[in-house]
Amino acid sequence: MDDLKAEFVAETQEMVEALSSEIVAWEADPADRSRLDAIFRFVHTVKGNCGFFEFPRLEALSHAAEDVLSEMRAGRREPDRQVVNAVLAIIDRISDITADIASNGSCPEGDDSALIAALHGEAVEEEQEIGDNDQLIPRATTSRTVRLPVELLDRVMSGVSDVVLARNELARFMGELDRDNLLRGPFDRLSAVINEVRDGMTRTRMLPLETLFTSLPRMVRDLAGQLDKRVVIETDGGDVELDREMIEVVRDPIMHLLRNAIDHGIESPEERKDAGKPGTGLIKLAARQSGDKIIIEINDDGRGVNTDKLVAKAISAGVLDEEQASQLTMEERHMLMCEAGLSTADRVTEISGRGVGMDVVRDNVERIGGSLKIDSVVGRGLRVLLQLPLTLSITPAMTIVVGQHTMGVPHSFIEEIIDSANKDVSFEQMGDAWFAKVRDRRMPCVGLNTLLGVEDADTKRRALVVLRLAGGAEFVLTVDKVLAHQELVIKAVSPALLATGLYAGTSLTDDGRPVLLLDVTGIAEAAGIDTGIEGRTRADDKLQREWEEQESRVPAVLFTGLDGTRKALRMSVVSRIEMVEAHQLTRSGGRWRVILGDLIVPLAGLDKMPADGEAIRVLRLGDGNSVLTYACGDDTDVTDLPEDLTPMPGDNEIEAIALIEDRPVELLDSHWLFSNFGEARNQDDRPVCRLSAQNSWAQNFLRPVIESAGYRVVDEDDKAEADVAICSDPKESKILPAGQHIVLRKEEASRTKSDKSIYRYDRDGLVAALEAARARKA
Amino acid sequence: MMQEQLLVASMGGRRVAIPSGQILSVIELDKVERVPRSPPGVAGLTALRSRVLTVIDCAQIIDPANFSDGDGRAGDPYAVVIDIDDYGYALLVEDVEDVTEPHDKLADAKADLGAGWSNFVVGVAETSVGALVVVDPAKIVRGAIAGATKAA
């Protein structure tokens, strides 16, 4: 709270400082509308800000001044000398009180009723005290900070980047020197110092948005309480880092927008229930970084905005004539909200006032080169999209490969990255569009190669990057390969390339090669993925329908057997594709087997030993009980089985023949394969670990760890006796019977000393616990 | 009076002069990173120290009819580096000869230089290596931006 208070003080003092020339000018010419607006915004902002604190005097003063100024703005009152003086006196008083808050931390006692009375034209005794501009000189506050021009920081930062690149180049040469070369010591020191300098430089400018977000839930709760509404706020993207300066700039617009959403957007609990909505309103605030832009989206699920009403109001206020109004697009109609003096709210309230909010917001946003978009669906909610520039930023990004190109994808958009060979992934085509189904989510799937017109890499196996737009819409981008997580220093992309709409910035790799940062929103738009609020709901409905239609589909893995025929296997039995080399193959008892790690697994579909040193691909199949492999060619693909299959009753190995892509495909009978080739794994001496099948996180992340620790993994339905069970909750131990339970906790730090649980990402700790359990068993 | 020095280079198969005042440096291009879906006239990106430069294919901007595809000149060895609105650009040139001083002020071309050229030429200079058309590199970059905007 003290931080917030200090910020409030600093901000108010800064505004007073900036306002002093406006005040002088307004005094000279009280009819000057733009000065009037500036002063109005000041008191409005003070009023809004001090609402968080217990500063009743400031609130009363600013509210009174705002009332009078608002009258003047509306033309209902003339700005005569007396009222101008009274307003100026109030600004002086606000400045005084702020200075006291700065030194004492609290609002001083005092009586402002005379000043407020003066606003309404009542005579004031202490005439000379009013309008005394000397008071406006802000008091110097002791400060341990230095103000620097951003341009200077930019220059130093780019100098530091040059140093880092030169260091990297030098490091490559150092690699060729002897290990005990005398230069190594000094170089390592230099290198460490350079890293430190770079980190420091980066930090000088960046702060996570979290610093702003943390104060919001409280504010929302308090505001909602005052209005007898129930509202919760969900924030997302607090880790997005912003220039310090930028955070200051976005604070006000965000506050204004939230106040508007609570006051005018979210309905009362009764109204919401009548509309069939939950009684508690939801505001979602999401931040994303895309290249040199920050996208902040504020979504509420309130009543939305009736644009007809807005237009009518604009016409009656003389902002538009009927004809102009008829030509407005939906977006332009919404933007009327930002016209000064227009507000659809039927009442004026303490919180967001008289529609001043939106024009202030737009002014502030546009002043810093950003933009603001509004859309809404009546009855369903309103969305405001702020797009803010970022001249210099470090963007955490994943570098990816597509064709010959290396590119970056901003990390804040990435939900997850999955291998296309993962069995949780399947692809479906509907019309000309592709969809990827990841576990139970079906998302539009965009091939980056195709979209960029880049030649295909010669691989069937791709990486799937699941992306989530600021609006919540998700889609999948397929790329050839995902390289690494990198912190990229992003520079704006030149206008000549910006026009493509696909790139958000440029950066350099460590070895000095230029890389492009993808504009994820632009890519989504280029691929025809609807990103708007209406599109979102529409897409959801459409997906729901398609989903139902598609549920009956059976995905299969399509491949060419080593005998040259096209074969297919039901996806459900294929766990993954493995490359095995000739030396991993053995033949005994007329059967091929392949050594995979510490397992010896039967291999079907192979007729002769491949040449020495040659590798073959095998599909690893599992039925939950036994494991076997099937040799396949290089061209594996995933497809849906057609509905009409021709059964092959005479053939044991082949369940049916299917026509896929106009070619006959043998669908292998997985049941026969397992009964014929499957061998219960020779694992009786292996310890058993029970893991809940319901817990997909455990299945995806823990299972490989546990298996590589030499355990056999079973789930709660398995009758086998387990040596250990891994629970993500102590309560789970009831449904996961085992000799011993290992409990994982979500927090890194343990709650108590006796807490034996293991942090869920503490791989070493988990492996050690498994080792200990095995040792005990032995 | 001293005239602004001119860099004698060739682009689009023609010898041209570029006013040296706008030129930050002339570099030997190491490698140009292609940009997928880049507009015509943009050959790709290259790095100059820690800066990323947009590589402009001058020949294609000036004479799109004869130089429709950048492939022929991606191997052009030199580029002239300039700054436009704080963005860095590397303008591909086929050759760089010399820096020379014009004898006199720039003269009008007094003839139609051809559709492509007339948009980018600011005049003709008499120099010790002969008469040269003087092109404005900023106009070439703006031509590329205009082309890109149109293509989008």
Tens-digit pLDDT profile for residues A406-446: 999 987 788 888 888 888 888 888 887 888 888 888 889 99
Cβ <8 Å between A405 and B141: no
CA-to-CA dists, residue A218 to A5, A51, A221, A225, A698, angstroms: 15, 12, 5, 10, 35
Cβ <8 Å between A496 and B34: no
As to burial, measured by CB atoms within 10 angstroms (0-12 exposed, 13-18 middle, 19+ buried), residue A65 is buried
Q: What is A554-677's CATH number?
A: 2.40.50.180
Residue A113 has which token pair? Answer: 């009723």
Region B140-151: mean pLDDT is: 85
Cβ <8 Å between A494 and B36: no
Query: What gap in Å lies between CA B53 and CA B82, rounded to an integer?
Result: 9
Question: How many angstroms separate the CA of residue B95 from the nearest CA in chain A?
Answer: 24
Statement: residue A382 has pLDDT above 50: yes
Region B103-124: mean pLDDT is: 79
Question: How many angstroms separate the CA of residue B149 from the nearest CA in chain A?
Answer: 5
Question: How many angstroms separate the CA of residue A162 from the nearest CA in chain B?
Answer: 5
Q: Decide if B27 touches A, using CB distance below 8 A.
A: no
Statement: residue A511 has pLDDT above 90: no
- Which residue type does B126 have? E
Statement: residue B89 has pLDDT above 90: yes
Query: What gap in Å lies between CA A643 and CA A598, rounded to an integer?
Result: 40
CA-to-CA dists, residue A490 to A297, A389, A393, A395, B8, angstroms: 22, 12, 6, 7, 35
Statement: residue B47 has pLDDT above 70: yes
CA-to-CA dists, residue A364 to A48, A353, A745, angstroms: 15, 18, 45
Q: Would you state the pLDDT for residue B76? A: 61
Residue B57 sits in a domain whose CATH number is 2.40.50.180
Region A589-599: mean pLDDT is: 79
Q: Decide if A479 touches B, using CB distance below 8 A.
A: no
Give the chain A residue nearest B42 (alpha carbons): A496
- List of chain A residues whose C-beta atoms are within 8 Å of the C-beta of residue B85: 495
Give the chain B residue nearest A163 (alpha carbons): B50
Residue B1 counted as domain residue: no
Cβ <8 Å between A499 and B149: yes
- List of chain B residues whose C-beta atoms are within 8 Å of the C-beta of residue A165: 49-50
Of B47, B89, B152, the CB nearest to A514: B47
Residue A406 has which token pair? Answer: 């290396």
Q: Would you state the pLDDT for residue A778? A: 64
Contact status, residue A138 vs residue A13, Cβ threshold 8 Å: yes
Cβ <8 Å between B33 and A500: no
Q: Would you state the pLDDT for residue A287? A: 87
Cβ <8 Å between A452 and B148: no
Give the fold, CATH level 3, of A210-387: Heat Shock Protein 90 (3.30.565)
Q: Decide if B46 touches A, using CB distance below 8 A.
A: yes
- Looking at per-residue pLDDT, the higher value among A688 and A347 belongs to A688
Cβ <8 Å between B87 and A492: yes
Question: How many angstroms separate the CA of residue B82 from the nearest CA in chain A?
Answer: 13
Among A353-357, A402-406, A591-595, B125-129, where is mean pLDDT lowest?
A: A353-357
Cβ <8 Å between B52 and A497: no
Give the chain A residue nearest B57 (alpha carbons): A496
φ, ψ of residue A104 to 5 degrees: the values are: -110, -15
Give the fold, CATH level 3, of A2-136: Four Helix Bundle (Hemerythrin (Met), subunit A) (1.20.120)
Region A646-659: mean pLDDT is: 80
Among A157-166, A452-461, B96-105, where is mean pLDDT lowest?
A: A452-461
Q: Decide if A369 touches B, using CB distance below 8 A.
A: no
Statement: residue A351 has pLDDT above 60: no
Query: What gap in Å lies between CA A310 and CA A335, rounded to an integer?
Result: 9
pLDDT band at A367 (very low <50, low <70, confident <90, very high): low
Residue B29 counted as domain residue: yes
Q: Decide if A514 touches B, using CB distance below 8 A.
A: yes
Q: Decide if B38 touches A, using CB distance below 8 A.
A: yes
Residue from A494, A498, A500, A517 to probe the interface with B (highest B Cβ count within 10 Å):
A494
Q: Candidates 3.20.20.70, 1.10.3720.10, 2.40.30.10, 2.30.30.40; correct CATH number of A393-547?
A: 2.30.30.40
Of A161, A403, A501, the CB nearest to B152: A501
**Residues 114-143, chain B, touching A (beta carbon < 8 A):** 141
pLDDT band at B90 (very low <50, low <70, confident <90, very high): very high
- Looking at per-residue pLDDT, the higher value among A243 and A377 belongs to A377
* Residues β-bridged to residue A386: A296, A372
Statement: residue A396 has pLDDT above 50: yes
pLDDT band at A1 (very low <50, low <70, confident <90, very high): low
Question: How many angstroms separate the CA of residue B17 from the nearest CA in chain A?
Answer: 24
- List of chain A residues whose C-beta atoms are within 8 Å of the C-beta of residue B41: 496
Query: Which top CATH class is A688-777?
Result: alpha beta
pLDDT band at A350 (very low <50, low <70, confident <90, very high): very low
Give the chain A residue nearest B49 (alpha carbons): A162
Q: Would you state the pLDDT for residue A12? A: 82
Contact status, residue B44 vs residue A506, Cβ threshold 8 Å: no
φ, ψ of residue A569 to 5 degrees: the values are: -130, 140
Query: What gap in Å lies between CA A417 and CA A467, rounded to an integer?
Result: 9
Q: Would you state the pLDDT for residue A662? A: 79
Report pLDDT digits (tens) over A463-477.
889 888 766 678 899
Query: What gap in Å lies between CA A549 and CA A543, rounded to an integer?
Result: 10
* Closest to A83 measured CA to CA, from A37, A31, A44: A31
Report pLDDT digits (tens) over A225-256.
888 888 888 888 888 887 766 777 788 888 88
Cβ <8 Å between B35 and A516: yes
Looking at the structure of chain B, the number of domains it has is 1
The complex scores an ipTM of 0.88
Cβ <8 Å between B39 and A500: yes
**Residues 398-427, chain A, touching B (beta carbon < 8 A):** 402-405
Region B61-82: mean pLDDT is: 71
Q: Would you state the pLDDT for residue A149? A: 78
Four-point Cα dihedral A550, A556, A558, A564, nearest 10:
-130
Domain housing B50: 6-151
pLDDT band at B17 (very low <50, low <70, confident <90, very high): very high
* Residues β-bridged to residue A726: A691, A742
Q: Would you state the pLDDT for residue A537? A: 39
Q: Would you state the pLDDT for residue A552? A: 46
Percent of chain A with pLDDT over 70: 85
Of B38, B45, B144, the CB nearest to A514: B45
Q: Would you state the pLDDT for residue A193? A: 92
Residue from B35, B141, B142, B145 to probe the interface with A (highest A Cβ count within 10 Å):
B35
User: b or e along A116-153 (b: 16 or more beta carbons within 10 Å of the residue's beta carbon)?
Assistant: bebbeeeebeeeeebbeeebbebeeeeeeeeeeeeeeb
- Looking at per-residue pLDDT, the higher value among A568 and A102 belongs to A568
Among A55-69, A396-410, A448-462, A475-489, where is mean pLDDT lowest?
A: A448-462
Q: What is the 3-state secondary structure (H, E, C) of A213-232?
A: HCCHHHHHHHHHHHCCCCEE
Cβ <8 Å between B87 and A452: no
Statement: residue A375 has pLDDT above 50: yes
Statement: residue A356 has pLDDT above 50: no
Residue B23 counted as domain residue: yes
Cβ <8 Å between A496 and B45: no
**If you search the block for the tokens 């995806």, which residue do you land on?**
A700
Q: Average pLDDT of chain B?
A: 83
Q: What share of chain B is helix, strand, coil (3-state, %, to 5)?
A: 20, 40, 40
Among A529-543, A687-701, B8-22, where is mean pLDDT lowest?
A: A529-543
Among A117-131, A498-512, A620-634, A657-671, where is mean pLDDT lowest?
A: A117-131
Q: What is the SS3 assignment for A134?
A: helix
Question: How many angstroms separate the CA of residue B111 from the nearest CA in chain A?
Answer: 31
- List of chain B residues whose C-beta atoms are within 8 Å of the C-beta of residue A512: 47, 50
Q: Would you state the pLDDT for residue A541? A: 45
Query: What gap in Å lies between CA A153 and CA B50, rounded to an integer?
Result: 16
Contact status, residue A480 vs residue A449, Cβ threshold 8 Å: yes
Give the chain A residue nearest B86 (alpha carbons): A494
* Closest to B75 measured CA to CA, from B42, B39, B28, B37: B28
Q: Decide if A198 touches B, using CB distance below 8 A.
A: no
Question: How many angstroms separate the CA of residue A493 from the nearest CA in chain B?
Answer: 8
